Amino acid sequence: MKTAASVNEGPFRCPQRGCSRSYRRKEHLTRHSASHSQAPACECPFCDKVFSRTDILRQHVRALHKDKKLESSRTVIACSHCRSRKTRCNGRAPCEACSRRGLQCSLSHLSLSRQGNPKNAETLGYVEIYFEKFHPVWPLLHRATFEPSQEPPILLQSVVMMGMWMTGDEKMQCHAVKLHDKLSSLVYEQRDKWAAISSESEVQSPWPMATYQATLIQIIFASLKDAHSQVDIQLARTISTSCSRLLTTLTETCLRKNMFFYPEILAQFCGDSVPDVFIWVGIEEVKRFALALYEVCRTCHIQRENSPRNSPRSANRGRSLLTLADLQFALPDSDELWHATSDLAARLAEDGPLYYDNNDAAANWISQSSETVAEARYDI
């Protein structure tokens, strides 16, 4: 069995005095070396761990100190603009940062949907229904680290919306449809904040994964609620023009950001002060998001604007938007590990960083496998 120490050993050793870290790749050493010029400032009050970023500290506390609560001066609800740029948000509607830049703050829009929201206990109940009924089929989110009070509003509201729908109650489903109309319109109207315009300018920018996950949930919901949608002989469902716009924008954005190329995925999450468990969770969420997006594209006909809805040429297979050849990473780890809770960190520490084992070799990537084998091993 590999140990964490043996996996981390490599020919590229850190020259910093007192540092014993070594890496198998030069680019990993370069990324690590940059951390020596950044003094860690976030100390865990419940153990001796120190982190350079507050978000990693919060993830650490949620995963390893479940009975503890981290007091912080930073707001737990940030607008989509501040969150995507990892800047401070004061949580007001609109927030200071958006007001200063003359931007439309997402918190202002979401305050409208909060007027009819259930109370906190009911909200948590819909979150549980989401994970009990929707999550087993579409495992987009990591349940063990999903904390409603700390998630971006757009993602939390999307989860609540889907939870309402999955109750099967007609009244709750009507509320879910109304919430969907507001949220999907908000996501599309603010696409200039999350959609990539060109590959060259967007590859290196941080990925707002919560926005992408929420958008995909909105697209799946749109397909679910349209019970009378046309389905062809290949069981491909025709989705509305508005849903087609979201799906096309989301897919093209991910491809332009090179999000499904494993070295880029690793670079987004890997860092000297980031525990292996959080790197693993981040990588797994991208993989599972990508496969879910592929499945949606595979089973949908998309509507083109300015074309008659019933025209044969107005709809195209969404599969052309995303193919298995675009998925340049290995299959996700086991669902059993993905659904693990309290012992996940210990298991990853025992087995070593699993995200290295099957991903470094391009031969293991989905793009290099046959479509039949890939779909058989990941049936969503």
237 within a domain of the structure (yes/no)? yes
As a whole number, the mean pLDDT across the chain is: 74
What is the pairing mode between strands 237-238 and 300-303? Answer: parallel
- Stretch 262-274: mean pLDDT, rounded? 79
pLDDT tens for 111-159 read 434 444 445 667 888 999 999 999 999 999 998 888 888 888 999 999 9
Residue with the larger pLDDT of the pair 264 and 379: 264
Least confident piece of the model among 23-32, 156-165, 306-315:
306-315
Q: Please give the Cα distance from 94 to 101 (Å, whole number).
A: 11
116 within a domain of the structure (yes/no)? no
Whole-number pLDDT of residue 292? 95
Whole-number pLDDT of residue 273? 65
- The angle subtended at Cα 188 by Cα 185 and Cα 193, nearest 5°, is 130
**Containing structural domain, residue 291:** 122-198+205-304+321-353
Residues of the chain above pLDDT 70, percent = 60
Q: Please give the Cα distance from 131 to 309 (Å, whole number).
A: 35
Note if the bond before 94 is cis, omega within 30 degrees: yes
284 within a domain of the structure (yes/no)? yes
> How many structural domains does the chain have?
1
295 within a domain of the structure (yes/no)? yes
Tokens of 148: 């409603």
pLDDT tens for 334-359 read 888 888 766 676 777 666 555 555 56
Confidence of residue 81 (pLDDT cuts 50, 70, 90): low
12 within a domain of the structure (yes/no)? no
Instruction: Give the global pTM.
Output: 0.64
Least confident piece of the model among 32-41, 249-258, 327-336:
32-41
Confidence of residue 15 (pLDDT cuts 50, 70, 90): confident
242 within a domain of the structure (yes/no)? yes
Q: Please give the Cα distance from 238 to 251 (Å, whole number).
A: 17
Residue with the larger pLDDT of the pair 81 and 183: 183
81 within a domain of the structure (yes/no)? no
DSSP letter at 366 equals: G
113 within a domain of the structure (yes/no)? no
Tokens of 254: 């991910």
